[in-house]
Amino acid sequence: MQDRTKQYDYARLIEEEKAHFADIEITRELKEGGVHANSAWSFYWQGIARVLAAGGFANLPAYVCGRFPDENRPLEVLSLASGYCGHELDLARRMTRPYRVTCTELNEAIFKEAKTIAQAESLTMDFREADLNFMKIEPGRYDLIFAHAAIHHVINLEHLFDQIARGLTPTGVLHMTEVVGKNRKLIWDRNEHYANALLELVPERLTRGIRLAVQENADGMEGIRQEDIIPLLRERFVALFEHRHGAFMRFICTHSELGPAFDPNDQEARHALEFLIASDDSAVRAGFLAPLEIWGVYRPR
pLDDT along the chain (301 residues), means of 10: 95 92 86 88 96 91 89 94 96 96 94 96 97 98 96 98 98 97 97 98 97 92 97 98 97 96 97 98 98 98 95
Q: Of how many residues is the chain composed? A: 301
Distance (Å, whole) CA 250 – CA 21: 20
Q: What is the pLDDT of residues 102-145, one digit of tens each?
A: 999 999 889 999 999 999 999 999 999 999 999 999 999 999 99
Distance (Å, whole) CA 87 – CA 101: 11
Report the percentage of the chain scoring pLDDT > 70.
100
Q: What is each CA distance from 193 to 84, 202, 234, in whole angstroms? A: 34, 15, 29
Predicted local confidence at residue 224, as pLDDT? 97
Give the CATH number for residue 132: 3.40.50.150
DSSP helix/strand/coil, 33? coil
Predicted local confidence at residue 62, as pLDDT? 93
Residue type, 282: S
- Give every CB contact of residue 81 below 8 A, 6+ residues apart in sequence: 104, 105, 106, 132, 147, 150, 153
Question: Which helix H or strand E contains 143, and what residues bound it?
Answer: strand 142-148
Distance (Å, whole) CA 84 – CA 111: 6
Among 110, 181, 102, which Cα is nearest to 147's? 102
Domain of 156 in residue numbering reads as 4-300
Distance (Å, whole) CA 8 – CA 242: 32
Q: What is each CA distance from 161 to 74, 242, 243, in whole angstroms? A: 24, 17, 19
What's the pTM?
0.95
Distance (Å, whole) CA 248 – CA 294: 13
Domain count for the chain: 1
Q: Could you write out the DSSP letters of every residue in 185-221?
A: TBS-HHHHHHHHHHHTTS-HHHHTT----PPP--STT
Residues 242 and 186 sit within 8 Å (Cβ to Cβ) = no
What is the C-alpha R_g of the chain?
19
- How high is the mean pLDDT of the chain? 95
Residues 38 and 123 sit within 8 Å (Cβ to Cβ) = no
